[in-house]
Chains A and B, each alone.
Chain A
């Protein structure tokens, strides 16, 4: 009887026991498998697979001999792993603008944004609305080169259509220097927004270098440094000096450069790069390809003005900041940044007043950049004014001070002297703007 009861109890518990035994076995085995595969996974991540190593795609076969570098790069890309083949981006119809006959088909040597748009529609739309789009191109080519449709698109961009005498003078450098120089200079960067023959705009691969199209490359600040460098917009240098740049330089090797877009957290990026603040989805802010989407001022302008809907832009940028900084810190920082912009604005506006008597008395030549005073007047806003503003917002103390405000004051003094030389030379009364000082004093 007892034996029968015991058997009955065992039968009743058989599912429970079976289930628990299975759990223990599977969990144990999984732990073993995970332990074994961890080193493999690490090795795999260090040595990406060339997914085209044995490809019989005719482009791959031929170009493996002729241009093996790009085939090897593409073989290691996630696009190739996702089965995007050469033809998807390069092959076009015979009547496609700029199509070139090639081995019995028609191709574009450099695919246009229209090809990228096939898969990355939202990204292209965001880009088209940005400073990197038509405004970048118009900066050297002028808006006269745009079709009616593109002109409408250009003026719809916040930076589009904003032009004053100072900007016009700056843009004239392109004509003054000539194509032998500008091909390697202005156009290298500003073609990021150049229209293609098929009507699409820009060059995605200026930032997403072909043919690896690596997330890491696009996210690293060195990519932006290709253009955002030098005396007129030294964002690269400022970033290196900033706490964010120091964190990148000292700890960036351990950041998760290939982390899934749209899921980034401070665990992936303990400090921001250019992309984190301006483009990546981070914190409460979604991913964008519009570089102006989070900015509150037109900092690149001689006298900065607020951007349209700048309050919304601020919310998006501050959504990124708030991942590490508290609200009070952010608000204080924005208040201080705004004050710095206002100060530089005041100095640039004063430079306009300083030079005004020469304009009124027709004592300046019509041609820009043909006499020393043009350069001093230009450098004051284009180099030092902008540098001081960028330095303030990106926390580059040296660029706010010695490469910014100090140089503004230096040029101011030089400008006054040059203006007075011209006025006195013309028998006119010299000006006396008084000693330099902060806004409101």
Chain B
């Protein structure tokens, strides 16, 4: 029984067309497709996309398509789908770590005088260090979704055939921690981005507040053995809040990018406020809501 049943017991008697893990995999596939697009736009900022910058772009699109295909394959051959999914998700983790490495070295000045090699200012103005880790996060949650928990809530994941691993927590609690980590990453990206404008616009404090709140609440829910109705209510409210913050943020970013004459100038959308970035809050909110669905396999 998922947390959602704590609040709405009637829901537990209804069967969704997709299981929680299938919803997770679908969301992961959509995420990778969007990450490919988002990375393409982000890497266009410098005017020319160099070879290593194309890795996440192609990977995001190809991985997203493979995952969607794997979802279809799973209907007939789950083992093959798990293998495909696992390859994609492990690769996604690696692509994220590689990207973070490339961004970190751009955020440092190794040959500058000692004391000037790393600074908060560099972290703010360099390519976002946290952003590539989104690939890793999607890889991590995708891996979790691809591996079946037997029995539900036990934390025992079936790898392949007879091989199993035991997690210290149930899959649900692991997901909640991932939601918390994902929101924290989103929060940090948002804060570093908005620091470029020195937080002069009062609106940019909203994602910070929502992000901090959104980081703490899922972590808290994960820590609680038996959440109450109020716990789940607050969690749902938090996830909905993140979805609203994400959508409103995207609208505000588009407004900033529109020229004063309400004309679309492509370079403003590429080099100005990243209009897809706020949707990461909404994405994490949706991820968080799916966690509440029953862990039972359909």
Contact = CB atoms under 8 A, between A and B. Distances in A.
Interface of A: 8, 11-16, 18-20, 22-23, 26-27, 30, 34, 37-38, 40-41, 44, 49-57, 81-83, 118-123, 260-263, 265, 281, 283-287, 319, 322-323
Contacts of A30: 191, 208
Of residues B109, B215, B221, B238, which shows the largest number of chain A Cβ atoms within 10 Å of its Cβ?
A: B109
A54 B271 contact: no
B208 A18 contact: no
B121 A44 contact: yes
Interface stretch (B59-67, B154-162, B166-174, B227-235): B227-235
Given A13-B230, A37-B120, A319-B261, A49 B112 contact: yes
Contacts of A51: 109, 111-112
Given A262-B271, A281-B268, A83 B47 contact: no
B41 interface: no
A284 B116 contact: no
B57 to A, nearest CB: 17
A44 B106 contact: no
A81 B259 contact: no
B268 A15 contact: no
A15 B205 contact: no
Nearest to B210: A23
A120 B265 CA distance: 19
Contacts of A52: 111-112
B109 A322 contact: no
A393 B114 CA distance: 52
A23 B213 contact: yes
Contacts of A285: 265
Nearest to B115: A49
Interface in B169-218: 191, 195, 198-199, 205, 208-209, 212-213, 215-217
A11 B232 CA distance: 12
A263 B272 contact: yes
B265 A323 contact: no
B113 interface: yes
Contacts of A56: 111
Contacts of B106: 82-83
A231 B223 CA distance: 79
Contacts of B120: 37, 40
A262 B112 contact: no
A190 B91 CA distance: 53
14 contacts: A8-B228, A15-B217, A16-B234, A19-B234, A22-B212, A30-B208, A34-B195, A53-B111, A119-B47, A119-B48, A262-B265, A281-B268, A319-B261, A322-B260
A344 B135 CA distance: 63
Interface of B: 46-48, 50, 106, 109, 111-114, 116, 119-121, 191, 195, 198-199, 205, 208-209, 212-213, 215-217, 220-221, 228-231, 234-235, 238, 259-261, 263, 265-268, 270-272
A11 B227 CA distance: 9
A119 B120 CA distance: 28
Contacts of A287: 267
A27 B271 contact: no
A174 to B, nearest CB: 36
A49 B113 contact: yes
Given A27-B205, A49-B112, A281 B47 contact: no
A26 B208 CA distance: 9
Nearest to B195: A34
Given A15-B221, A51-B111, A319-B263, A262 B191 contact: no
Given A11-B228, A260-B271, A81 B208 contact: no
Contact of A14 (B109, B114, B205, B220): B220
Nearest to A324: B260
B259 A319 contact: yes
B260 A265 contact: yes
A53 B112 contact: yes
A104 B72 CA distance: 59
A19 B265 contact: no
Contacts of B265: 262, 281, 284-286
A13 B220 CA distance: 11
B211 to A, nearest CB: 9
Given A34-B199, A285-B265, A323 B272 contact: no
A286 B47 contact: no
B200 to A, nearest CB: 10
Contacts of B238: 19
Nearest to A121: B48
A261 B121 CA distance: 19
Given A15-B234, A15-B235, A49-B113, A262 B268 contact: yes
A18 B109 contact: no
B113 A50 contact: yes
Contacts of B266: 286
Contacts of A22: 212-213, 215-216
A19 B48 contact: no
A27 B209 contact: yes
B213 A283 contact: no
Contacts of A8: 228
Contacts of B215: 22
A121 B48 CA distance: 7
A11 B270 CA distance: 47
Contacts of A11: 228
A19 B216 contact: yes
Given A27-B205, A283-B263, A322-B261, 16 more contacts: A13-B230, A22-B213, A23-B209, A27-B212, A30-B208, A34-B198, A34-B199, A44-B121, A51-B112, A53-B112, A54-B114, A55-B111, A123-B47, A261-B271, A263-B268, A284-B261
B274 to A, nearest CB: 11
**Most chain B beta carbons < 10 A, residue from A19, A49, A81:** A19
B109 A81 contact: yes
A312 to B, nearest CB: 14
B261 A54 contact: no
Contact of A49 (B116, B199, B229): B116
A367 B186 CA distance: 74
B121 A41 contact: yes
A262 B264 CA distance: 12
A8 B217 CA distance: 18
Given A283-B261, A284-B265, A12 B230 contact: yes
A13 B265 CA distance: 47
Nearest to B50: A119
A44 B112 contact: no
B109 A286 contact: no
A40 B121 CA distance: 9
